[in-house]
Chains A and B, each alone.
Chain A
Amino acid sequence: MNPLLNPKLPEPAYKEEFTAGRLFTYRNPSDLTLWERLYVPEVLRGLSITGSIFFKNMGLWLVWLGYWARGRANEAPRGAVTVYYPEEERPDMTKVNRGKHILTQRLNGEPQCVACYMCATACPAWCIHIDAGEHPDPAIEKYPVRFDIEIDKCIFCGYCEEACPVDAIRLTTDYHTVDYLRERMVYDRDYLLSWNPTKVQQEHVYPGGEPRRG
């Protein structure tokens, strides 16, 4: 038992008090029992744990073969907790997962965005680029002529979503942002307005709470 961790010993007020007058040598005595320090039995115990997982999964593989032979491979019990990613996706993805951005629209199809630069200012990765234009409607004042998100630089923190005063930018749960070309990973205004999330979200969940409306 480590004397430093022993609750019966009085707690030293200062380290100097504890070490005063003698050479302090730091010791880290092992709190293993003799049986554990023999090493081999504990190694064998560890090997039996990993080995049993191995054989359990190989058994499940045999079960899968049986299901597969009857053409019902999808119904077989799975040993693996991982999935074949591009073909399969995890069914238990959370609703507040932050993924690709989407720009919301007004009823007439114009962007909700008023080009206030709040999101671009809040962005820690500096990946949002906005050029503002003057909107004919004086009540709206401004609209984004250009609204680019460099999705390869985005860190999906969701600050833009929280900063937005008019609920114009949202993070969907869609996380398929990979591409072979960097040029294609800059999403412009029209794409952000028009792309369809693969799963239509009935209710959008805001991690930071509901935004102010109106």
Chain B
Amino acid sequence: MTLDWAFLLITAVNLVAVIGLLLNLGGVLTWVERKQAAVMANRIGANRCYIPVPVPAKAPGGGWKVRWSKRFTLVGLFHAIADGMKMLTKEDYTPPFVNRFIYNLAPFIAFVTVFATFAVIPFGGPVEPARLLDGPLLSGIGALDGARAWLAGFFGDGSGAARTFRLQLADLDIGVLYVFAVSGTGVFAAALAGWSSNNKFSLLGGLRASAQMISYEVALGLSVIGLFLIHGTVDLGRIVDQQQSLWMWGIVLQPHMFFLFLAANIAENKRIPFDMPEGESELVAGYFTEYSAMKMGMFMMSEFVAIAVIAGLVTTLFFGGYHVPFLYDDGFHFGESVVPLSHLTVVVLRLASFTLKVLVLCWFQILIRWTLPKFRYDQVMRLGWKMLLPISLANLVLTAGIAQIVNAR
């Protein structure tokens, strides 16, 4: 058996793209959160961080000298870098009497599970590398012939037929089940951090995190089973394939489940209005009270990356994934009329579509976070068990009945 170098290369590219996208998006989201909160509240927001830029200035005695300008602030984007630098260089204090192994393990669990969740989310359409350089503009360039021949050879299957690759890190059949399993493991981070910190506030935060996770994991899973019944699969790639038509998008099929799924996801992410485990007003910082420096930064970072992951998941299930309305593999189809597009254009359009949807949903989550007040703990439990769960169960029964009727015809 020989190594599949083409598959390895595509996987490496996917890996770099996913990790790069998520890490950078997580960093940028810290800035977005501050700035959007400011704009929503008629404030200015973070704008002090700057990178000194040399500019020529008139010297008092005539002639010119170099002045270091403080104006290059890029609307406060450098605050994310400054935060990262601060957290990396601060003292990493471990309080006495903690369980050191578990205490150190918890932030890594939080970090890894969030990133691992994104592995099954398809973030771009099928790519046929051999056809990437075809098209009305690129075909005419003779200099690309060599590259085209190399692509066809390297990504061919040996018999001359072209292979198609999915822009998805792991094309798992279990798809969404993997997502639920991995994100469910994320609760161990909060629970272990709370238990090992030797602090009452941390312990309470960890307990609340466990209880909340258990409550909302149920509604989280049940709220999308209706979609799986309609699509007949849990493989996220297949689900996205079936959302080619605008009428098959999850937001059109089950709009009420969108709110449930988003609410359950925000509760899983432990953000306001569901920030019981963190509970700034009552538990200091909840389960990560005793963490400092980059370990605390990893908890924060995983929270912000989870925003992007949730946005990706909701996009995949409810907003057609990478699909652009009316865009098929060979171009736009408006009824009978067809606007043909090259393969490269379609791939780029679909990547851009997925990124745009994710960004809009990130914005929406932050809008929710700065609009709604925090729930009381009993309200959180009541919402989870007495509202979300019955509604999703009723939806499951209803959808199953309708699907049975539709399939029987």
Contacts and interface: CB of A to CB of B under 8 A. Distances in A.
Partners in one complex: yes
B367 A54 contact: yes
Contacts of A58: 39
Interface string A67-102: 000000000000111111000000000000000000
Contacts of A82: 42-44
Contacts of A79: 39, 42
Contact of A54 (B40, B47, B259, B368): B40
A46 B43 contact: no
A47 B42 contact: no
A18 B18 CA distance: 66
Interface residues of A, number: 17
A47 B39 contact: no
Contacts of A46: 371-372
A194 interface: no
A80 B370 contact: no
B3 to A, nearest CB: 51
Given A43-B371, A80-B38, 4 more contacts: A43-B372, A50-B40, A50-B370, A54-B36
B367 A47 contact: yes
B27 to A, nearest CB: 22
Given A47-B367, A50-B367, A80 B372 contact: no
A53 B39 CA distance: 8
Task: Give 4 closest A-B pairs by Cβ, nearest first.
Answer: A50-B371, A57-B39, A80-B44, A54-B40
A42 to B, nearest CB: 10
Interface in B303-324: none
A57 B42 contact: yes
Interface string B24-43: 00000000000010111111
Contacts of B370: 50
Nearest to A83: B44
9 contacts: A46-B371, A47-B371, A51-B367, A53-B39, A53-B40, A54-B39, A54-B40, A81-B43, A82-B42
A52 to B, nearest CB: 10
B132 to A, nearest CB: 37
A43 B262 CA distance: 13
Contacts of A57: 39-40, 42
State the main secondary structure of chain A at its contact with B: helix
B73 to A, nearest CB: 11
A53 B42 contact: yes
A83 B371 CA distance: 23
A80 B36 contact: no
A9 B42 CA distance: 45
Nearest to B75: A61
A51 B363 CA distance: 10
Contacts of A47: 367-368, 371
Contacts of A51: 40, 367
B323 to A, nearest CB: 25
A137 to B, nearest CB: 48
A159 B83 CA distance: 43
A40 interface: yes
Contacts of B41: 53
A113 B371 CA distance: 55
A81 B42 contact: yes
Given A47-B368, A50-B370, A51-B367, A84 B44 contact: yes
A80 B40 contact: no
Interface in A30-56: 40, 43, 46-47, 49-51, 53-54
A80 B43 contact: yes
A40 B259 contact: yes
Among A50, A57, A58: residue with most chain B CB under 10 A:
A50
Nearest to B364: A47
Interface in B363-395: 367-368, 370-372
A81 B39 CA distance: 10
Contacts of B44: 80, 82-84
A57 B368 CA distance: 18
A46 B40 CA distance: 12
Nearest to B45: A80
Nearest to A55: B39
Nearest to A49: B371
Interface string B44-81: 10010000000000000000000000000000000000
Nearest to A86: B48
A89 B383 CA distance: 46
A104 to B, nearest CB: 38
A149 B39 CA distance: 40
Interface in B342-377: 367-368, 370-372
A50 B38 CA distance: 11
B378 to A, nearest CB: 13
Nearest to B259: A40
A43 B40 CA distance: 16
A28 to B, nearest CB: 12
A76 B47 CA distance: 19
A101 B47 CA distance: 32
Nearest to B42: A81
Contacts of A54: 36, 39-40, 367
A206 to B, nearest CB: 34
A57 B44 CA distance: 10
A6 B47 CA distance: 51
B265 to A, nearest CB: 15
Contacts of A83: 44
A57 B38 CA distance: 10
Nearest to B260: A40
Contacts of B36: 54
